[in-house]
Amino acid sequence: MKISIVTIAYNAEATIADAARSVMTQVPEGFELEYIVVDGASTDGTLAALEPYRNGIARIISEPDKGLYDAMNKGVRAATGDVVGILNADDAYADERVLARVAAAFAASDADSVYGDLDYVAEDGSGRVVRRWRSGAYRRGAFLGGWMPPHPAFFLRRAVYEQHGLFSLDLRSAADYELMLRMLFKHRISATHVPAVLVKMRTGGVSNASWANRWRANREDRRAWRMNGLRPMPWTLILKPLRKVLQWL
């Protein structure tokens, strides 16, 4: 099995080396690695920070883009692996056996997608865990209760992207939610949960930065359902942000 990992970056000089190192140190057990970096023409030292890892990077695309999800689409299109995972430049894999566990889960289940758990860590680089996202086993109906898997810990077969499409550029902050809703809920692709922390994600996401941003994100979540001709329950998009409260406990 070949796994393509795509890292999206823009002016990520401070964090991208940690992301790249976490990919480069994966134990190649049961899979072949392809690493692709998509940089939105950064104006800082992002590309220089990647130099120590350059020999392990299959391709670097550095050019202006139309935002985060356009960059993700470029990475998916460039990928040649059987499976594609997306790791943002300020995230890192939790340990060196993450991709081996993902490959084993795909091999054992023959699923279309595999996802795991995620820890939010402090922005200061200390590694201190501030929130814990535990996904649990997949049930399609869980989407109606506000559930979703953590996108950085979500791995999808490339053939599924080819069949059902890429990230929507019509959404600013919820295109990852829309894609997983479309794949898992609408098209009913199969999914397997790896009960382990796969990704360490730095806090500070745009959609949760303020109540105004959270309101805009909620509106985009509603739009994601409409775009797919789906209807949530009255409580679905109320429960979605409330589920995050449990991550602090």
- Contacts of 167-170 with C-beta under 8 Å, sequence gap 24+, read 167/69, 167/70, 167/72, 167/73, 167/76, 168/69, 168/227, 169/66, 169/67, 169/69, 169/70, 169/73, 170/223, 170/227
Q: What is the C-alpha R_g of the chain?
A: 17
Residue tagged 């009960």 (tokens): 195
In one-letter notation, the amino acid at residue 146 is G
pLDDT tens digit string along 68-82? 999 999 999 999 999
Looking at the DSSP bridge assignments, the partners of residue 8 are: 38, 88
**CATH number where 34 lies:** 3.90.550.10
Split into its structural domains, the chain has a count of 1
pLDDT tens digit string along 196-220? 999 999 986 544 445 466 667 789 9
Q: What percent of the chain has pLDDT over 90?
A: 84
Full domain range(s) for residue 20 = 2-248
The encoded tokens of residue 112 equal: 């279309």
Distance, CA of 109 to CA of 196 (rounded, Å): 17
pTM to 2 decimal places: 0.93
According to the model, what pLDDT value does residue 247 have? 67
**188 pLDDT higher than 60:** yes
pLDDT band per the 50, 70, 90 thresholds, residue 246: low
**92 pLDDT higher than 70:** yes
Q: What percent of the chain has pLDDT over 70?
A: 93
Mean pLDDT of 110-117: 98
